A and B are shown apart, each in its own frame.
Chain A
Amino acid sequence: MEIARNLWRRKLRTTLTVTGIVMGIFALTTMGAMAEHFNVLLNGGITYVGSTVQVGDAQGASIGNGYMALSTLAQLEKVKGVAAVSPMVSLLADPGSGAVVSVTLPDYVGNIDPNWNRYDPLKLSLSTGRWVTNSSRGEVDLGSSIAAQFHMQMGDTIALPVRPSGAQPGFVNQRFTVVGILNPTLTAPDSAAFVSLDDAQTLQGDELPTVLQGHVDPYQLITGAVVYGKPGVNLDSLADRINAEVSTVKATKPSTLISDIKSGEAVFTVITTATALLALVIGGLSVVNTMIMSVSERIREIGLKKAIGARTRHILGEFVAEAGLMGLIGGVIGYALGFAMTALLNASDSSGGLFLVTPRLTALAIGFAVALGAVAGLLPAIRAARMDPVRALRAQ
């Protein structure tokens, strides 16, 4: 109580100091929430690619870039250590949304993979409706984000791919009835529209270059394949074996994909760390300044307390607690503002938003603010605690 009263004695100074901490923690919360969102997204990717071998056309620059023959699946199934192979057809669901730089995964149409929930550690589940089957036609299961983005509900109809503004005259899309909406996973499937393989191949056929249309059977083409290994099989070795035994495809080692994803994760960690440093400088310096002034103004009080029996640790504790309380107040306000801001931005974003405030981030933001205050207050507190009581009592 006395600590709070001491802070309130200098209302303007305390308010300014707390404002400094608020700014720092606000920045830390918002940037941290963005980093948390991407980390969850990327961790989902790591889980997915870490448990599968992604296979694409040997000539393709990357997985999903190019076409493979559907018949290749049979060759892949014969490679030692393969438990299952799923065809993969993937194309952009909303080609018109193409921002030059996107910080989220693009919406995509993919074929439903019956092996996913059997082999993949990241399980998909429906919040409503039913699964599209291989024999379904004109039906779609929507990920949570894409459903929210296009305000889709059960029984609604969506044309895929979504017609972009200024579409070419030959642009074709197909209408699908929403039969299921998935629970959020906070990673790639949230942006997916899952249709049957046949429907995905139909859409893929619509997008084939004009020179190929009519000359190739789109139902014999896939974008790639997902290979699931048998239990205990090293997936990097399995990728090597696939590349050695099936010359028409290119299998990427999971470790390579994980490494690529982690380098993306590192960028967000740098963003969070840089924001924390900013908070440290703004908030920390203002706390140091305030506490130095506070100690200077209260020298006689320190002398009195020492005279009546306060030991070094008592004085140290009181001043550190005061600085820590400023950190706590600034931290709670900064976090609350950051939380409100991210909630507001998420609410205004039809795809669900870029920010994810996790319990870990909450603890980090408030814990960091308290620690910042306490550590910044430590030096002035040590000065106070070491004060000679006689000199302090006689100070003017």
Chain B
Amino acid sequence: MPAMRLEGLTKHYERASQVVRALDGVTLEIEQGEFVAVVGRSGSGKTTMLDCAGLLMSPTAGRVLLDGVDTGQLSGRERAELRSRRIGFIFQEFNLLPTLSAIENVLLPLRYSGADRRAGRRRAEQLLDEMGLSGRASHRPSELSGGQQQRVAIARSLIGEPTLVLGDEPMGEVDTETAEMLLTLMRRIHRESRVTFLIVTHDLDLAAKADRIIHLRDGHLVGDERMECFGSPVAATAAGSR
């Protein structure tokens, strides 16, 4: 069973009395444990696809199935619960809460999932250690560099032991060297935990280090490449799904 299946995913919205077709009938499957990059120009529908896949947005048409569950049938509360238990998010601008320390930011998702706080704290310390931030647990975001903040955000995305991590331009706010380091870190986590990663990026060099690259253009799926090893495509599928 695929970790995620998008079926004819369509999202239209109205802006200035004009219909914007952000996504237009995208169909794809992502297997459990894949590391997938989504690329495309600005306005191609990458973020909209991620928002729908993360259950933050309801599609105009089509379905999102997570582990075979049709999420369109879920109530708002059930969707929130599913997000809390199964999905981790990493955002471009880190989105750390300025009043919380690094470890408190990591622990934030557990506040809403009702998980055991003591066990959660141990795991948060372990995650910060894995991120190389064990000495920074009590620091506020303003006391951390951009790369450190994003590592805290990555730790936060993993605290609930999700099966799927969605990243919206997670390396977009850091310099090239830090971006490389963050990607390497995510790849290591992926290798060790086999969590499914779906990362939106406009940086093709970084995308080339994924297992698979999905290309979007004007809301359509125009390419789906699987890589044998970093940078070497084994299959290129023009998976236009109109």
Contacts and interface: CB of A to CB of B under 8 A. Distances in A.
Interface of A: 2, 5-6, 9, 300-301, 303-312, 314, 389-390, 393
A390 B57 contact: yes
B95 A2 contact: no
Contact of B109 (A6, A303, A309): A309
A309 B84 contact: yes
A303 to B, nearest CB: 8
Contacts of B76: 311-312
Give the top 8 A-B pairs by smallest Cβ distance, nearest first: A309-B84, A5-B99, A309-B112, A308-B109, A304-B95, A310-B112, A311-B80, A309-B83
Contact of A309 (B51, B104, B113): B113
Nearest to B153: A304
Given A390-B51, A390-B56, A308 B89 contact: yes
A384 to B, nearest CB: 14
B77 A389 contact: no
A306 B95 CA distance: 12
Contacts of A312: 76
A308 B86 CA distance: 10
Contact of B83 (A6, A307, A314): A307
Given A9-B98, A307-B83, 4 more contacts: A305-B108, A311-B81, A390-B56, A390-B57
Contacts of B51: 390
Interface of B: 51, 54, 56-57, 76-77, 80-81, 83-85, 89, 91, 93, 95, 97-100, 104, 108-109, 111-113, 156, 160
Given A2-B104, A390-B56, A308 B112 contact: yes
Contact of B80 (A5, A310, A390, A393): A310
Contacts of B93: 300
Contact of B56 (A310, A314, A389): A389
Contacts of B112: 305, 308-311, 314
A18 B93 CA distance: 33
18 contacts: A2-B99, A2-B100, A9-B98, A301-B95, A303-B95, A305-B112, A306-B56, A307-B83, A308-B83, A308-B84, A308-B108, A308-B156, A309-B80, A309-B83, A311-B76, A311-B80, A314-B111, A393-B56
A300 B96 CA distance: 10
Contacts of A390: 51, 56-57
